[in-house]
Amino acid sequence: MKPAEDAVREFVLEDQAVAALVGDRILPMPFDQAGTVPAITYRRVTTRRNQTLDGPSGLEWARTQYDIWARNEQKPTAGEVFEALKLALDGKAPSRGFPFVRQGVKVMNVEVGTHQDLYDDAVRLHRVSVELVIGYGKAA
């Protein structure tokens, strides 16, 4: 089974608003500082397995970090890309695409958690760092 964050990447790339802003630049970390922006990078932070009285349920929760990189003096800004990402994922109902299956992974839910606006002096880029919690399991 592919990582859940790869399934979410594929789902987000299908969203026209996000694709219009970043193209296909949603990539696993690390960020290529010489790369084209805006771009989104992601990495898994932790995984929690869901347990029942009978043992593992098959459901897992991946806490991931997504970083949106941009030069805010140019459009789109990191904040604008974050808003599009949030609309593409946060609290989607079954009528709006959840659950979905991509790459053998069934994603039941994506929660957009805390986020912070940052500036990286070393690369002179603005960044919105956002936590996404992905509820997923193996597709049947």
CATH for 36: 3.30.2000.30
Task: Give the CA count within 13 Å in the CB-facing half-sphere of 113.
Answer: 13
Domain containing residue 47? 4-138
The band of 1, judged by pLDDT with boundaries at 50, 70 and 90, is low
Give per-residue pLDDT as tens, 92-117: 655 567 788 888 899 988 989 999 99
Average pLDDT, stretch 37-49? 94
Q: State yes or no: pLDDT of 91 exceeds 80.
A: no
Angle at CA of residue 130, ends 128 and 134, nearest 5°: 150
| Number of domains observed in the structure of the chain | 1
* Per-residue pLDDT, 85: 94
